[in-house]
């Protein structure tokens, strides 16, 4: 949270950073902040005050934010990868291709695409009957743990989640890996120091996923 807030403040105040690439970094930081605000308050409430209860609407909202904003981060990585590809392969045309208007359209695409495709998951979950207990064996409302509480037919939910996961995260991950390959291939072709610097910058940045999504302690259920 602090690092993301510092990054956003620095980019906002430093006029030399008002460039498309840093706007994309700002978008990534905003998405990460929303994810943190979705997870951290409830986790702290559980461990500090033993406030384990959560309403069904709040649980479904948490599911939607986790599903949509995580995929938005992956999609933003692809746009950053494309920006680095243009900077490496077409440096003279980069300022004409990667513009503020391009970033605006890309941000709208990221939000609309991932928001619309992940919205049916909590909607389908809200239509289920829950009679297998009201205890989630996790600190956050994830799809798997919420589905386990239902005594209805959940194959439709599971299939849609599977298809959405592979459509969004699977395709994004493949495109990110391909971008690494093309960028490093062009760096090896041109053998320029600037090219290698830009390539390594592009490769290293997306390799730091949100740690909160991997360290939320299981077994600390809330109602």
Specify the CATH number for the domain of residue 203: 1.20.1070.10
Is residue 73 in a domain? yes
Is residue 221 in a domain? no
Is residue 210 in a domain? yes
Is residue 220 in a domain? no
CA-based nearest residue to 86, from 183, 203, 201: 183
**pLDDT, tens digit only, all 223 positions of the chain:** 788 899 999 999 999 999 999 999 999 999 999 999 998 888 888 888 888 888 888 889 999 999 999 999 999 999 998 888 888 888 888 889 999 999 999 999 999 999 999 999 999 888 888 886 677 777 888 888 888 888 888 888 889 989 998 888 888 889 888 887 887 877 777 655 455 445 444 444 444 444 333 333 444 445 4
Is pTM beyond 0.85? Reply is no
Token duo for residue 209 = 């996923």
SS3 call for 44: helix
Rounded Cα–Cα distance for residues 173 and 70 (Å): 12
120: buried, middle or exposed (CB in 10 Å: 19+, 13-18, 0-12)?
A: middle
User: What's the domain range around 96?
Assistant: 2-215
Is residue 223 in a domain? no
Q: What beta strand segments (E) does 54-117 contain?
A: none
CA-based nearest residue to 197, from 207, 206, 187, 205: 187
Is residue 148 in a domain? yes
Rounded Cα–Cα distance for residues 55 and 44 (Å): 17
Q: What is the pLDDT of residue 187?
A: 74
How many independent structural domains does the chain possess? Answer: 1
Is residue 35 in a domain? yes
Is residue 74 in a domain? yes
Q: What is the pLDDT of residue 204?
A: 44
Residues 6+ apart with CB under 8 A from 135: 149, 221, 222, 223
């Amino acid at each position: 949270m602090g690092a993301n807030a510092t990054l956003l403040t620095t980019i906002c105040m430093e006029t030399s950073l008002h460039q498309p690439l840093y706007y994309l970094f700002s978008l990534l930081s905003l998405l990460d902040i929303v994810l943190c605000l979705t997870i951290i308050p409830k986790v702290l409430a559980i461990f500090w005050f033993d406030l384990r209860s959560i309403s069904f609407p709040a649980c479904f909202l948490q599911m939607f934010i986790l599903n949509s904003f995580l995929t938005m981060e992956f999609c933003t990585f692809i746009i950053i990868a494309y920006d680095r590809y243009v900077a490496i392969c077409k440096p003279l045309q980069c300022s004409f291709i990667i513009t503020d208007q391009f970033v605006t359209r890309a941000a709208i695409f990221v939000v609309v695409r991932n928001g619309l495709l992940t919205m049916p998951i909590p909607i389908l979950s809200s239509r289920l009957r829950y009679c297998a207990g009201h205890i989630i064996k996790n600190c956050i409302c994830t799809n798997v743990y919420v589905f386990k509480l239902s005594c209805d037919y959940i194959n439709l939910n599971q299939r849609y989640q599977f298809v959405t996961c592979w459509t969004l995260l699977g395709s994004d991950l493949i495109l990110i890996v391909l971008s690494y390959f093309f960028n490093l291939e062009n760096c090896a072709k041109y053998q320029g120091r600037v090219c290698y610097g830009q390539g390594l910058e592009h490769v290293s940045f997306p390799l730091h996923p949100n740690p909160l999504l991997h360290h939320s302690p299981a077994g600390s259920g809330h109602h």
